[in-house]
Amino acid sequence: MRLRERQRWEDPELNLISLVDVVLMMLVFFMMTTHFIQSTSVNVQLPSAGAPPVYTQTDGIEVTVDAEGRYFVNQKPVPGSDPLSLRDALTAAAGSKRDQPIILRADARATHQSVVTVMDVAGALGFAQLQILTTETGANH
């Protein structure tokens, strides 16, 4: 007389649904985070300075002046090269936040007038902080 039933050995089962969910979530996470890496699309040759920068703040409104005197606000081209177009682009980029710095990336071959125009327009709009990006003497950018 048998009192115990035979034990059945079931094949082990690996649930892949959870693994696929985790992999897809990681894929979405990496796709979203790599989208926020900022790359500079406007190629400018920065002027050189003898001393390394003392203070730099990376968040602000970036204004680029290329060698031809064209303006770019946060990597977007400004439709005209006149002060009114630049003022409209800066106003649209800043909104009501005038406490953020203007980061000026001017090509070394740009005219002095185009750089002064950026400083003049930014000052007239109420921006008090201006950073001019340069490279150290002897460094190529």
In a domain, 22, yes or no: no
Q: Would you say residue 13 lies in a domain?
A: no
The CATH code of the domain that includes 116 is 3.30.420.270
**Residue 65 CB contacts under 8 Å (≥ 6 apart), including other chains:** 44, 71, 72, 104, 105, 106, 107, 110, 114, 115, 118
In a domain, 98, yes or no: yes
Q: Does a structural domain hold residue 35?
A: no
- The answer to whether residue 8 sits within a structural domain is no
CA distances from 43 to 46, 53, 107, 121, 124 (A): 9, 20, 9, 23, 27
Residue 52 lies in a domain: yes
The secondary structure of residue 101, as a DSSP letter, is P
Is the residue at 4 inside a domain?
no
Nearest to 68 by CA among 124, 125, 12, 109: 109
Residue numbers of the domain that contains 120: 48-136
What is the tens place of the pLDDT at every residue in 9-47? Answer: 777 777 788 888 999 999 988 887 775 555 556 666 666
- pLDDT tens digit string along 55-104? 555 678 899 999 888 999 998 999 888 899 999 999 999 888 888 899 98
Q: Has residue 33 been placed in a domain?
A: no
Tally of domains within the chain: 1
* pTM, full prediction: 0.61
